[in-house]
A and B are shown apart, each in its own frame.
Chain A
Amino acid sequence: MSKIAGRFQQLAAQGRKALVPYIVAGDPDLASTVPLMHALVDAGADIIELGVPFSDPMSEGPVIQKAHERALASGARLRDALAMVATFRERDSETPVLLMGYANPVEHMGYARFADQAAAVGLDGLLTVDIPPEEVAGVNAELHRVGLDNIFLVAPTTPKARIQSIVDQASGFIYYVALKGVTGAGHLDAEDVAQHLAHIREATTLPLAVGFGIKDADSARRVGAAADGVVVGSALVDTIARAAAQGASQEELLKAATELVASIRAGLDSIAS
């Protein structure tokens, strides 16, 4: 069993929901990322989703777009994100880490080379926003060779009939996109989310995490009830950006981030199981 699957199973046994925070590797600078990852785990994160900076992050709203721009300006690239995972693993061998990003940096590195390096640094999974099941054969073969999970998105616009073709390619968990739009947008409809999750559960026993639009304890609690976990991206990235813009020290930056994550943890833990 993969580390990601194991973590979900363990949480399910405890009647708890997975909290998956997203940060961009190298935002606001190269030195902050690994300390942030550890701090997020200390604040209650179960899985870390590390964004790979890309010049053209097509699915991101303004908050995460700017994070990609800051990270690129700080010099962070795919190989740096992998190096950060290696450094993180020196102190934490348990918490699953996945990279989330766009096809081109991975494709340019080469699927086989990426898989080898990912396995070597202790990465657990990959989520590429712009590689749908139709295009995934090449990368999946390499990820599976080294035992990495490939996490797929299911959207509110995904027809019921298509869900099966997605979950058949996926492992680890399914990432349900809670709303039509870019990251950080719109207003969540927990009932609508629950309905879609029920459809996905008809097709798979994989755990379901929900992301896009979860920004605080309340939204996490409302959406988390029907899910196995939640992903928090823009709200956390925005918190980090605000702290950095105010010239916060690394300690202050970590504090701001952990306060948000801890409050969301509390929101999730308040869901009666």
Chain B
Amino acid sequence: MTTDINTKLFASVPDADGRFGVYGGKFVAETLMSALSELEILYRRLADDPEFQRELDEDLAHYVGRPSPLYEARRWSDRVGGARILLKREDLNHTGAHKVNNTVGQALLAKHMGKRRVIAETGAGQHGVATATIAARLGLECHVFMGEEDVRRQALNVYRMKLLGATVVPVTSGSRTLKDAMNEAMRDWVTNVDDTFYIIGTVAGPHPYPMLVRDFQCVIGREARAQSLSQTGRLPDALVACVGGGSNAIGLFHPFLEDESVAMYGVEAGGHGVATGEHAAPLTAGTPGVLHGNRTYLMQDEDGQIMHTHSVSAGLDYPGVGPEHSWLKDVGRVNYVTADDAEALAAFHDLTRTEGIMPALESAHALAYAGRLAATMTPEQTIIVNLSGRGDKDIHTVADIDGIDF
């Protein structure tokens, strides 16, 4: 047990107003303020309710299939050289990504609030699929907002959602990607706030979402910490996770924040290279601002307009990031770095060939950086990479890039 002063620091956020230092908060139209308060009050009550926790744990065990394995990727570790690399296999969850940890939790909240309809935004489609899945199970009406551009590049997930009974609404405004899907979901919520629960898929949005999504995703890090101790006899030297909105990263990092010896790396999408301006790396190359209900690092121009982003992976193609990451960057606890499209694609192929595990392109960004990091470390050291999702959904994107036409 640590007695470090940091214990207090990391447990102190968010504060009562939903702030992580200067980040976070509730920057939404007045119409939504009471819905957010209602959600916050309910969540604070249920978070301490053993019956709710039992329900959640049961779903995570028997519906999601947790715990997910911590798998040592020996062949891939040998190939990149240096440290031992362990993969937290969130790709093995039901629906194929970490997103379901959160949708199961929020759907339980929706049920407790008596809402008959859920909505979600989605980029790569993983959160949309996870929401449509839990909606099917609970018999809730489900609308998923998805940028037109993402509908095109994630056709498989769009069809999955339709099979699950969800309505997928293509969003044609703005850059037609994740940020615009989130705008549209907010517009739907403000209109249907009486009967609708908005299941936000990442640790962004207005308070209490960054807090409750984090809490639901922390199961990743809690398991990984215990698995590391039992499988390797020690804590890892480093954690690596990709950061779009940042839910899989916060889920892995948060339970380790007080473990001073554990270094942490959040990997943003470098796109065509940070120097080109065509990327999705607000923590690396952005400045603080206000978007989607919270203050956080953003990709914005000199007039405070939100910029278009680029990443080969739809799930990272977002100009903002969860406010807790902004805070963790400023306090210096987590290092935020980038991997570009080409590096992610190379890692995608590498892991597939050496381990028989096909990672999501989002997770491939984490792998790419972990490979670089491992090479600077020793074989006695270990790295845990969050393999946040499986790559089936990206096969078309990868085939396109490789010039293969089905």
Contacts from A to B (Cβ < 8 Å):
54-62, 65, 69, 72, 77-79, 102-109, 129-132, 134-135, 152-159, 162, 166, 177, 180-182, 185-186
0/1 string, B180-224, CB within 8 A of A gives 1: 100100110011111000000000000000000000000000000
B residues lining the A interface (CB < 8 Å): 17, 25-35, 173-174, 179-180, 183, 186-187, 190-194, 287, 289-293, 295, 298, 300, 302-307
Q: Which residues of A contact B306 (CB under 8 A)?
A: 55-56, 104
Contact of B25 among A59, A134, A180, A182 (CB under 8 A): A134
Q: Are B304 and A109 in contact (CB under 8 A)?
A: yes
Chain A residues near B289: list those with CB within 8 A: 104, 107-108
CA distance A181 to B307 in the complex (A): 26
Whether the Cβ atoms of A79 and B303 lie closer than 8 Å is: yes
Is the CB–CB distance between B30 and A135 below 8 Å?
A: no
14 A-B pairs whose Cβ atoms sit less than 8 Å apart in the complex: A55-B306, A59-B186, A60-B187, A77-B305, A107-B295, A130-B28, A132-B26, A132-B33, A157-B32, A180-B31, A181-B187, A181-B191, A182-B187, A182-B190
Chain A to chain B: the 10 pairs with minimum beta-carbon distance, closest first = A108-B304, A181-B191, A105-B304, A155-B31, A77-B303, A103-B290, A153-B30, A155-B30, A55-B306, A130-B27
- The answer to whether A129 touches B29 (Cβ under 8 A) is yes
Most buried by A among B183, B291, B298, B303: B303
Q: A181-B190, A181-B191, A182-B191 are in contact. Are A159 and B34 (CB under 8 A)?
A: yes
Per the bound structure, the CA–CA distance linking A232 and B293 in Å amounts to: 26
- Secondary structure at chain B's binding surface: helix, strand, loop or mixed? mixed
Question: Assuming the A-B contacts A55-B174, A77-B303, A105-B305, are A61 and B187 also in contact, with contact meaning beta carbons closer than 8 angstroms in the complex?
Answer: yes
Task: Assess whether A157 is in contact with B183, with CB atoms less than 8 Å apart.
Answer: no
CB <8 Å contact, A185 and B34: no
The answer to whether A59 and B27 touch (CB under 8 A), given A104-B290, A130-B290, A134-B17, is no
Beyond A58-B28, A180-B192, A186-B191, 7 additional pairs, beta carbon < 8 A: A58-B187, A60-B187, A72-B305, A104-B289, A109-B304, A134-B25, A177-B29
Cα-based distance from A57 to B180 in the complex (angstroms): 10
* In the complex, residue of chain A having the shortest beta-carbon distance to the beta carbon of B35: A157
Q: A107-B289, A180-B193 are in contact. Are A130 and B303 (CB under 8 A)?
A: no
Assess whether A135 is in contact with B27, with CB atoms less than 8 Å apart.
yes
Most buried by A among B17, B173, B292: B173
How far in angstroms is the closest Cβ of chain B from A166? 7
**Cα–Cα distance between A72 and B304 once the two chains are bound (Å):** 12
Q: Which residue of B lies closest to A131 (CB)?
A: B27
CB-based nearest A residue for B175: A55
Residues of A within 8 A of B305 (CB): 54-55, 72, 77, 104-105
Contact of A162 among B33, B174, B180 (CB under 8 A): B33
Choose from B26, B30, B186 the contact partner of A154 (Cβ within 8 Å). Answer: B30
Most A Cβ at <10 Å: residue of B31, B190, B290: B31
CB within 8 Å for A180 and B173 given contacts A56-B183, A152-B30, A158-B30: no
Give which listed residue, B17, B32, B183, B191, contacts A185 with CB less than 8 A. Answer: B191
Bound CA–CA A69/B31 (angstroms): 24
Q: From residue B305, how far is it (CB to closest CB) to chain A in Å?
A: 4
Q: Decide: A58 near B26, CB < 8 A? Known: A77-B303, A103-B290.
A: no
